[in-house]
Amino acid sequence: MEKDKKKYRILLVEDNLGDYVLVEEYLDDMISDPQIYRTENFKETKEVLTDNQKVFDVILLDITLPDKSGEQLISEMMDIAVHVPVIVLTGYSDAKFAIKSLNMGVADYLLKDELNPPILHKSIVYNIERNKTIVRLQESEQRYADLFQLSPQPMWVFDMETLVFLNVNQAAIQHYGYSLEEFMQMTIMNIRPVEEWSFTEKILNSIRIENPSHLKYILNHIKKDGTKIRVEVLSNPIEFQGRKCRIILANDITSKLKYLEAIETQNEKLRDIAWVQSHILRAPLSRMMGIIEMIKREDMELSEIKEYLGHIINSAYELDEIIKDVVDKAQQINFQDVSKQN
């Protein structure tokens, strides 16, 4: 059978020379060039694992060492064997202890009496690859945690059944005014107006049934100080702590909406001014132009001219009042105040 040509860096923690030689032979049978480093007690093992110059792919651990053994040995080994799978090699077949060891983080539990080259090789290869997957998942989770906490927008995760907050980022704490401890004692209903709870329940029931990937809502939220804000909510499903949850990103659009309302109010005033200019302002101006054309006639009596001049003066006064009204309305539009809303 062709040997495995991969380079495996193996730390073999074994005080019994006979067992060490046997394991070394098993490794040589299956691997072309195993790089084996041996330690004989926990103290020496700790020194090796805390030496940044030495990196291992797997640790083969005898759980009966001169200076430490059993559960205590496994517990302290897991503390120092960061991201390195630990395979226990033991001569004691205790099923309960084996299960407990696996629960403590041991990658595999092998009995020396049942050990052979293929079993040992398979365990090493399998656990190295599985460990790589676990490390990638942990790194992915850490990236998620960093993005979650460093987001400038409020974010939180809540349980779809109980509606309790399971995680809240710093931006949400600062924006809503609640401490992390307070958030952890609350449900999402506590940041919704009471009069909108029924509507919120309808939304949640629909989400529970359909579980859509992406949702966007505009809702009202309540800060700790009672301030009501208008929020654009983005929602996605996520499994968190073994529960079906939703992750929320909340964008406070209160100021934006106020700005748009101010712009609309100004636009309404501008439309009013435009209507005045196109209708009311034209009436006296048209009368004045018409009277002036009539005065130009050569056969008009002086008394008639005086009468028409009076109409022109009246129209001029009327036009002056209209212009003043337009100016007053224009002065009511304060663009500086609108810019402050943005």
Query: Has residue 1 been placed in a domain?
Result: no
Q: State residue 273's pLDDT score.
A: 67
pLDDT of residue 278: 64
- Report the alpha-carbon distance of residue 145 to residue 11 in Å, rounded: 33
The CB-side HSE value for 90 (13 A sphere, CA atoms) comes to: 21
Q: What percent of the chain stands above pLDDT 70? A: 91
- C-alpha distances out from residue 314 to 294, 296, 301, 321, Å: 16, 19, 20, 11
Confidence grade of residue 12 (pLDDT, cut at 50, 70, 90): very high
Residues 18 and 141 in one domain: yes
Q: Is the pLDDT of residue 337 over 60?
A: no
* pLDDT category of residue 336 using cuts at 50, 70 and 90: very low
Mean pLDDT of 153-175: 95
**How many domains is the chain partitioned into structurally?**
3
Residue written as token pair 């034209």: 282
* Residue 4 resides in a domain: no
pLDDT higher than threshold 90 for residue 138:
no
Q: What is the CA radius of gyration of the chain?
A: 41
Please report, for the domain that includes residue 288, its CATH number.
Answer: 1.10.287.130
Instruction: Tell me how far apart the alpha carbons of residues 39 and 193 are, in angstroms, rounded to a whole number.
Output: 65
In a domain, 112, yes or no: yes
Q: What is the pLDDT of residues 71-103, one digit of tens each?
A: 999 999 999 998 899 999 998 888 888 999 999
Averaged pLDDT of the chain: 86
Residue-number span of the structural domain to which 268 is assigned: 256-341
Instruction: State mean pLDDT over 179-206.
Output: 94
**Domain presence at residue 3:** no
- Structure confidence at residue 164 as a pLDDT band (50, 70, 90): very high
Confidence of residue 40 (pLDDT cuts 50, 70, 90): very high
Last residue of a domain, one of 252, 272, 288: 252
Amino acid at 85: P
**Positive or negative, the Cα torsion across 45, 48, 52, 54?**
negative
Q: CA angle 237-241-245, nearest 5°?
A: 25
Classify residue 2: in a domain, yes or no.
no
pTM above 0.85, yes or no: no
pLDDT tens-digit series, residues 262-316: 777 777 776 776 766 666 777 777 888 888 877 776 677 777 778 878 888 888 8
Q: Is 215 inside any structural domain? A: yes
CA–CA distances in Å: residue 153 to residues 49, 123, 175, 311: 41, 46, 9, 66
Whether residue 231 is found in the same domain as residue 297:
no
What integer pLDDT is reported at residue 121 of this predicted model? Answer: 94
